[in-house]
């Protein structure tokens, strides 16, 4: 073999070894940099405020809910005509102080009182559903600018005020409100005349009928959901059927007719509970 060829092979080997060493160092440095960067990033994710929950019930209004284990729930039973209760942690002005104070006004409804209540709040109040009932959430104007929630229950307007009005306390309140569940006097279901009228109006509009041509019956109702039957006109063949409705800002009929019911869709898309679906619609 020629000497020049040997030199060429040696040079290629040296270059190859040098390249491999360089690449190994680059990978090592990159890994170190990535690890270093990850370690140096600030941890902006706060630990959950609520770790454990306890269940409570306010039987006078058929309310059940959960609250953090480090809070106490007290109900005022001194007056049968007035209902108040509170969810509280700590004592003001301690840093961990929190209070959700609730009182029930036994009269009033969404239609007659919503605008007046909203006028007491800062711009940005919102309509929502809590425990199956229509509600308004916002923040009071003025010095006592507490976060407030008005829930239009079947027993009147339940007002819940949060102090102090910090974003953290608002988050805690919303977490507690997410667990709210109402029944009427502990019953599993109830019916409301206003529901029949609302469904009657929805179906009359859908099928271009006069109200007096639409006879609606509510056979099942739990907070936020209802089901029943409808009869159109004189009730000939095909002139009636069943319906299922969901309460948002208004009642929405999500299924009606005499055919098969897509139970999975009603459960997943609309959250219709089995207390409505079984046994009349789904097995």
Nearest to 62 by CA among 187, 159, 158, 173: 187
Give 154's contacts (C-beta < 8 A, 6+ positions apart): 133, 182, 184, 190, 192
CATH of the domain at 161: 3.40.1000.10
Domain boundary residue, one of 182, 211, 228: 182
Residue 105 sits in which domain range?
Answer: 53-182
User: β-strand 240-247 against 181-182: which pairing, if any?
Assistant: unpaired
Domain boundary residue, one of 155, 182, 209: 182
Tens digit of each residue's pLDDT, the chain (283 residues):
555 665 666 666 666 666 666 555 554 444 333 333 333 333 443 433 455 788 898 888 888 899 998 999 998 866 656 789 999 999 888 888 999 999 998 888 888 899 999 999 999 999 998 988 899 999 999 887 899 999 998 888 999 999 888 899 999 999 999 999 887 544 444 445 678 889 999 999 999 999 889 999 888 888 788 999 999 876 554 578 899 999 887 889 999 988 889 999 999 998 998 888 988 888 7
Whole-model pTM: value is 0.51
In a domain, 34, yes or no: yes
Domain co-membership, 69 together with 178: yes
């Amino acid at each position: 073999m020629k000497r020049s060829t040997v030199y060429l092979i040696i040079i290629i080997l040296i270059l190859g070894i040098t390249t491999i060493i360089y690449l190994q160092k680059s990978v090592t440095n990159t890994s170190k940099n990535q690890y270093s960067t990850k370690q140096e990033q600030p941890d902006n994710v706060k630990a959950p405020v609520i770790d454990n929950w306890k269940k409570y019930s306010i039987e006078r209004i058929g309310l059940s809910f959960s609250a953090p284990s480090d809070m106490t729930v007290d109900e005022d039973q001194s007056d049968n005509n007035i209902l108040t209760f509170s969810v509280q942690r700590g004592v003001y002005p301690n840093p961990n102080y929190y209070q959700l104070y609730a009182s029930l006004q036994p009269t009033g409804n969404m239609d007659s009182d919503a605008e007046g209540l909203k006028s007491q709040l800062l711009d940005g109040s919102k309509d929502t559903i809590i425990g199956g009932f229509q509600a308004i959430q916002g923040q009071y104007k003025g010095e006592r600018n507490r976060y407030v929630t008005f829930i239009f229950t079947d027993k009147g307007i339940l007002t819940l005020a949060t102090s102090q009005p910090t974003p953290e306390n608002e988050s805690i309140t919303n977490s507690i409100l997410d667990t709210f569940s109402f029944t009427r006097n502990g019953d599993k279901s109830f019916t409301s005349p206003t529901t029949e009228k609302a469904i009657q109006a929805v179906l009359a509009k859908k099928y271009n009928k006069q109200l007096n041509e639409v006879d609606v019956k509510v056979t099942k109702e739990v907070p936020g959901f209802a089901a029943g039957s409808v009869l159109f006109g004189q009730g000939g063949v095909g002139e009636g059927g069943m319906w299922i409705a969901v309460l948002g800002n208004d009642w929405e009929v999500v299924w009606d007719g005499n055919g098969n019911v897509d139970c999975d869709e009603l459960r997943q898309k609309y959250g219709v509970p089995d207390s409505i679906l079984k046994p009349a619609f789904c097995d």
